[in-house]
Amino acid sequence: MGSYFSSNEIVPDFISNAESIPSKLFPLKVHKSDTRHDVIRFIIISDTHTRHRDLSLPLGDVLIHCGDWSNHPTSKQDYIDFDIWLGEQPHKHKIIVAGNHEIGLPHNPREVQELFANAVCLFDQTYEVEGVKLYGAPGIPARSFLYRANYMQYSRPIEKWNGIPYGTDILITHTPPRFVMDYGKHSRGYWREGDMELLNRAMNVKPKVHCFGHNHDQPGVMRVSHSLDTLKCAEDSTLFINASMFRGIIPPVVVDFHM
């Protein structure tokens, strides 16, 4: 997958030593015992930017979209087709968070949910799917007022991410955490788009999965261990997923969550 750490910033050891994973299928065993066979399959995508109808999605139980299904100049129209497309997918549950390009959406979570007949749109809130606890949050760190794709930008990251509760199994955000597949190319050069406070909170809460998008240049999957005990590294870890599909590099990511 190549190196994720090409800037001059000092990358924390627990990130620089993380394992990058090239495969698209990730069995995630939450419990040590293999005697239970209840599995929930999550299909994870992001940053489709109106190209969702070009996708061929694997079958699964839950479809997650991490935001930027639209393009900001046309987002008022884009969400209608996106919701219709979601209704055409066979997955039992559809969970979405809004990206910064969704500027045509209202800022009131209730009004947004009323627009989507075929998905649950999470706004800094917890949602449970068949016993799996999800937490979803839209938005990116605030940029210049001249930045046009600015839906749900936030300026108080500590307050925003402190709302992620302990016990979260799958964390869904649009913005990446800092240093985790967040290094992107822009018209004025390269810089990191991730949020340091989001990384800090994720490393404290320790979700089994943290999926996101926003940065189109480093899609992929990496596992970060929370334990120094090599025997517990796989069990006590977070699977970070940059599911951005805009450049067509990564296929839909499949995660089997063993209950």
Q: Which two tokens stand for residue 197?
A: 């406070």
Q: What is the pLDDT of residue 32?
A: 37
CA dihedral for 179, 66, 99, 133, sign (positive or negative):
negative
Mean pLDDT over the full length of the chain: 86
Q: Which of 33-42, 169-178, 215-224, 242-251 reaches the highest mean pLDDT?
A: 169-178
pLDDT more than 70, % of the chain: 81
Scanning 53-156, the segments in alpha helix (DSSP H) are 75-88, 109-115
Ordered strands of the 220-225 beta sheet: 19-20, 220-225, 237-242, 209-212, 170-173, 132-137, 125-129
pTM of the model: 0.87
Per-residue confidence band for 25, with pLDDT thresholds at 50, 70 and 90: low
In the chain the domains, ranked by start, together with CATH numbers, are: 25-30+37-258 (3.60.21.10)
Write phi, then psi, for 242 (nearest 5 degrees): -90, 105
Which of 67-81, 118-132, 226-240 shows the lowest mean pLDDT across its residues?
A: 226-240
Q: Rounded CA gap, 5 and 237, in Å?
A: 20
CA 43 to chain centre: 11
- The average pLDDT across 146-164 equals 89
Residue 27 vs residues 17, 47, 259: alpha-carbon distances, Å: 21, 24, 12
Residue 246 vs residues 1, 33, 38, 169, 252: alpha-carbon distances, Å: 17, 38, 33, 26, 12
Q: Rounded CA gap, 48 and 231, in Å?
A: 38
Going by C-alpha positions, the residue among 34, 52, 35, 51 that lies closest to residue 43 is: 52
